[in-house]
């Protein structure tokens, strides 16, 4: 494509400027409201310059056990990530290496597991975990999130394994390495970026999840997303606290976008757009 | 191969088993509020109750309305933004990255910040709109506006997704057809319509299917903004199932409704895979 002319460039910048304002204002609002003193929270025109206060953050961690909820979120997200990356990557290796006409069907079957509406299985999960005594435990959420994270890992890792040259594996086989040794010493290190990307995606999806966390946890295993929502109903709308909690929750996702945006396309389209 | 088995086993136990269990429940009368009443087999009566109830059909219709509204706007705006950020100008990379941020935010947080903006009397959105001469809009308190309020939040979060996928596809297009089209003296619009768009089509189809499948699952944003109200004006399928199961404790009815929605989603997923396979063979 040709380089745009001066007028076209101005138009492009103007339109993008509007888009940036629209898409970033809500994020700015979360950040600024989280440090805005309550009396001027809804002042018109909006107070742009004010003495920032950290009282909302302080309240979050002192008047509420928000630290505990953050730890729950971390535990669940890390647990599910470890579980999914382990099972997902070995399955992806099999799918990538076995040439069989049914393999495609299996890959699609695994992917479809991710696409089912969570609400359709939340009732059975609720009853199963209730029977097993796992309601309100991090383990229940780790299991549930893995059902979405394993298919994601399988599809991402399949793409990365496909790119590892077969010749390297064959050379290792000639040297007398077994299947597991080849996978562990040759293929996996070469697909390491894929492992990192899969892990980050699994982490963020688990960290952000709300529906299952709401239904399957109570006061013990509650995660941060559910806790923030509970400020809404219990404290007669503590907007400062809600925004402070929201800001804490959105940090991992924003950091991810700013640092690894080139992997986003692959992860969010399950490899259907590269 | 042994490598495949563990993951398949885990997925079977964690997804297929609950689904089969949902299937089993859907033929039973199961009232969670009465735990000692035996769960008797009731045949198709749960399905009959679901499919003939106005509530379910209303939920189905609202789900599709929301899907059509959000998808069409996301598609147009997303493709437009993709055309902007792929211009060869300085700063485009940063703009593109910044625009992607909404996608990775938890939908609950998206719901909460839009609630902050829509909030009756206090919300800033009506204040901003007053500058362009608009009267205050009862965003979440009026049945006429609530669905739009939800659609706007969803569009805000997911337009970047269409932009991202389209921009990725645009940068990988081959330049030759453009030079040919330009030599032939076509206008920009003609080039876009007859050269760019046909090449983008497979990617756009994938993106739209992925969004459509997700649109079917929408829950968090609605739960935060309206909980399905006012009345049942924003009660999509997930909220209907939630209400049957956890407000009325009719687990059997909830399961039957889940199964009907599963069938619809299976159709969507199958169509998506068909379109992917066609791309790969073409």
> Does A235 have pLDDT greater than 70?
no
CA distance B4 to A94: 6
CA distances from A90 to A141, A153, A165, B161 (A): 22, 10, 17, 29
Which of A30, A93, A118, A123 has the most B C-beta neighbours within 10 Å, making it the best mutation to test the interface with B? A123
CA distances from A126 to A115, A219, B182 (A): 20, 16, 61
In Å, how far is A61's CA from the nearest CA of chain B?
Answer: 19
> Does B170 have pLDDT greater than 60?
yes
Nearest alpha carbon to residue A76 among A208, A193, A195: A208
The whole-chain average pLDDT of chain B stands at 84
pLDDT tens track for A154-174: 888 888 888 888 888 888 888
pLDDT band at B9 (very low <50, low <70, confident <90, very high): confident
Q: A24: which 2 tokens?
A: 């970033």
Nearest alpha carbon to residue A76 among A171, A149, A161, A167: A149
Nearest alpha carbon to residue A240 among A231, A230, A252: A231
Is A230 within 8 Å of A219 (Cβ atoms)?
no
3-state SS assignment for residue A210? coil
Domain ranges, ordered by start, for chain A: 65-239+255-268
Which of B5, B15, B59, B81 has the most A C-beta neighbours within 10 Å, making it the best mutation to test the interface with A? B15
pLDDT tens track for A15-53: 999 999 999 999 999 999 888 888 788 877 777 788 888
> Does B281 have pLDDT greater than 60?
no
pLDDT on residue A2: 59
pLDDT band at B33 (very low <50, low <70, confident <90, very high): low
Report chain B residues whose CB lies below 8 A from the CB of A23: 98-99, 101-102, 156, 159-160
* Ranges assigned E (strand) in A97-255: none
When comparing pLDDT for A56 and B156, which is higher?
Answer: B156
Taking residues B60-89, what's their average pLDDT? Answer: 92
Range A65-239+255-268 classified under CATH 3.40.30.10: no
What are chain B's domains? 65-281 (1.10.3720.10)
Nearest alpha carbon to residue A13 among B166, B132, B94, B75: B94
Taking residues A92-112, what's their average pLDDT? Answer: 80
CA closest to B181 among chain A residues: A1
Backbone angles phi, psi at A36, to 5 degrees: -95, 135
- Which of B6, B99, B105 faces A90 most closely, judged by CB atoms? B6
> Does B200 have pLDDT greater than 70?
yes
DSSP state of B91: T
Phi-psi region of A271 (alpha: psi -120 to 50; beta: other; left: phi over 0): left
Residues 6+ apart with CB under 8 A from A114: A147, A148, A151, A152, A270
């Amino acid at each position: 494509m040709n380089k745009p002319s001066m007028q076209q460039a101005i138009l492009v910048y103007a339109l993008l400027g509007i888009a940036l304002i629209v898409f970033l204002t809500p994020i700015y609002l979360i950040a600024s409201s989280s440090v805005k003193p309550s009396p001027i929270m809804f002042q018109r025109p909006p107070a742009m310059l004010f003495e920032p206060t950290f009282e909302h953050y302080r309240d979050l961690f002192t008047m509420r056990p928000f630290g505990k909820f953050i730890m729950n979120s971390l535990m669940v997200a890390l647990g599910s990530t470890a579980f999914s990356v382990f099972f997902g990557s070995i399955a992806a290796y099999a799918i990538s290496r076995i040439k069989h006409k049914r393999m495609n069907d299996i890959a699609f079957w695994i992917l479809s597991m991710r696409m089912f509406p969570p609400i359709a299985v939340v009732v059975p999960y609720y009853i199963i975990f209730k029977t097993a005594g796992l309601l309100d435990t991090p383990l229940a959420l780790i299991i549930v999130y893995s059902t979405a994270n394993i298919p994601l890992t399988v599809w991402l890792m399949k793409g990365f394994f496909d790119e590892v040259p077969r010749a390297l594996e064959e050379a290792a086989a000639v040297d007398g390495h077994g299947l597991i040794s080849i996978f562990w010493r040759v293929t996996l290190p070469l697909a390491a970026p894929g492992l990192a990307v899969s892990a980050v995606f699994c982490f963020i999806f688990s960290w952000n999840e709300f529906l299952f966390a709401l239904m399957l946890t109570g006061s013990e295993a509650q995660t941060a997303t559910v806790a923030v929502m509970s400020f809404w109903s219990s404290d007669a709308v503590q907007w400062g606290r809600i925004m402070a909690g929201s800001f804490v929750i959105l940090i991992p996702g924003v950091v991810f976008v700013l640092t690894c945006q080139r992997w986003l396309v692959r992860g969010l389209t399950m490899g259907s757009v590269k | 191969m042994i490598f495949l088995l563990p993951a398949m086993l885990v997925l079977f136990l964690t997804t297929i088993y609950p689904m089969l269990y949902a299937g089993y429940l859907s033929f039973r009368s199961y009232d969670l509020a009465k735990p000692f009443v035996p769960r008797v087999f009731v045949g198709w009566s749960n399905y009959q109750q679901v499919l003939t109830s106005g509530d379910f059909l209303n939920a189905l219709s609202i789900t599709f309305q929301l899907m059509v509204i959000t998808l069409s706007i996301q598609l147009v705006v997303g493709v437009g933004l993709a055309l902007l950020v792929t211009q060869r100008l300085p700063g485009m990379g940063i703009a593109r990255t910044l625009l992607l941020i909404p996608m990775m935010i938890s939908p609950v947080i998206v719901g909460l910040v839009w609630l902050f903006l829509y909030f009756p009397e206090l919300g800033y959105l009506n204040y901003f709109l007053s500058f362009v001469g608009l009267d205050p809009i009862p965003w979440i308190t009026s049945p006429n506006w609530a669905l739009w309020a939800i659609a706007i939040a969803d569009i805000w979060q997911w337009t970047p997704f269409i932009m991202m996928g389209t921009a990725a596809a645009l940068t990988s297009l081959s330049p030759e057809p453009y030079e040919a089209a330009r030599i032939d003296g076509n206008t920009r619009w003609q080039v876009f319509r007859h050269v760019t768009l046909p090449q983008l089509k497979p990617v756009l189809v994938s993106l739209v299917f992925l969004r459509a499948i997700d649109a079917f699952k929408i829950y968090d944003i609605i739960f935060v903004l309206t909980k399905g109200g006012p009345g049942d004006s924003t009660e999509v399928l997930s909220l209907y199932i939630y209400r049957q199961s956890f407000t009325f404790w009719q687990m059997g009815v909830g399961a039957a409704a889940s199964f009907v929605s599963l069938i619809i989603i299976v159709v969507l997923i199958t169509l998506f895979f068909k379109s992917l396979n066609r791309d790969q063979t073409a």
